[in-house]
Structure 1
């Protein structure tokens, strides 16, 4: 029963994560905590082992999505590697801090983060892009399949600093850094939306390798449950990246905002009471 539940959760996480560039952990972690621990269907799980499962999943979500986006030539590899450099020390530090969180503390802090992310997704369409980062950074050009030209860019020092914070949150909570880096790429660096999603998934793949190595070393990965999670995530990511090319993701993002807000409130409630 628990394997089927994890397969379904991972499949949904892979679809949503790949479609909007979040990595999937932001769905898998709260869903597995609630179903596995709170409802008692997988009692041997802990916050640390759920995070361990999530970071293993994101390797395959990121790989599956990146391979799909490579075909459409929307991955900015240079930016992905620059962001990865900043995320490495942050990811390792977050994974180390994670071992000191008990379940109530994890739920409380994770709930606060989910509400922050849902707020970012809620207001990002109403915020005007900040042009300073493009004007004072390395500029790039992208022309989409409709012939529309985009000019985007960023100061490298700021990108590395930002991705250190993103990496820390990813290592601490087992979520894909895309949930924080995508809004920044769109609002601060003015990335084209499809390039932002594709490059985010490339970053998720790279950073998840380091993240997984850290959590494996700390003994946080429940290997017995990794197979259904890997299969579900890989298939889900293929579906999500295929949908990304065919549809606008506004409707899904609206639903995701509501889900993250509700999960955040629930997680904070569990952490406090």
Structure 2
């Protein structure tokens, strides 16, 4: 029963993560902590162990999504590798910082982060793109399936510095970093949305390998829980990537905003009153 619950949670995390480029950790972590700690299904789960589980899951979420997006040629591999350079030291530092968090502190900080991301998703369509980064950086081009050519770009130094800080958050909370990098790619660097999501999932795959290695070294991965999570996440990511190609993700993003807002409020309450 416990392993089936984990597989279902991972399936949902994989679908949502691949559909909107978030990686899935924002679903897996609060859901697993709730089912594990509050409902008592995984009494041995800790913030460190659930983050370790999440980053291992995201290797397979990212791989599954990447393989799907390769076929549709939506991934900007060059940008993905540039962003990966900045993410490497950031994820290692974030994993190291994670070991000092107890459950109430983790719930509090993660809740604040979820509300921040929910707000960012809410306002990102109302924010105006900034053309400065494209005009003062490396320019990239993409032609969509309708034959429309898109120009986007960024200064390489800024991309590396930005993804360093995204990497810290990724290592600290066990999320893929897509929740921050996708809005940045769309608003700051003018990436076409579908290219931003696909490139984000490629970056999630790469950074999760480094992130996982850090958490394995720190002894944070609960190996007995990984198999159902990997299977559920891999299948979910395939479904999410397929949906991304066929539909607008606006409805899913709206649902995700509400879910993350509620999860964030609940995590903050848990963090304050269980301290």
TM bracket, shorter-chain basis: over 0.9
Matches for 1:214-233 after TM superposition, within 5 Å: 214-233=214-233
Normalised by the size of structure 2, how large is the TM-score?
Answer: 0.99
In 1, distance between residues paired with 2:134 and 2:259?
32
In 2, distance between residues paired with 1:180 and 1:6?
26
- Paired residues, what number? 273
Corresponding residue number in structure 2 for 1:68: 68
Corresponding residue number in structure 2 for 1:177: 177
In 1, distance between residues paired with 2:168 and 2:38?
26
1:221 is paired with a residue whose SS is coil
Corresponding residue number in structure 2 for 1:57: 57
5+ long unaligned stretches in structure 2: none
Corresponding residue number in structure 2 for 1:160: 160
Matches for 1:36-47 after TM superposition, within 5 Å: 36-47=36-47
In 1, distance between residues paired with 2:181 and 2:241?
18
In 2, distance between residues paired with 1:40 and 1:129?
46
Moved over 2 A (4+): none
Deviations along 1:94-141, one digit per CA (max 9) or x if unpaired, are 000100000000000001110110011000000000111111111111
1:106 is paired with a residue whose SS is helix
1:151 is paired with a residue whose SS is strand
5+ long unaligned stretches in structure 1: none
2:45 is paired with a residue whose SS is coil
Matches for 1:1-273 after TM superposition, within 5 Å: 1-273=1-273
1:220 is paired with a residue whose SS is coil
In 2, distance between residues paired with 1:86 and 1:66?
20
1:75 is paired with a residue whose SS is coil
Normalised by the size of structure 1, how large is the TM-score?
Answer: 0.99
State the superposition RMSD in angstroms.
Answer: 0.5
In 1, distance between residues paired with 2:39 and 2:118?
24
In 1, distance between residues paired with 2:127 and 2:150?
18
2:44 is paired with a residue whose SS is coil
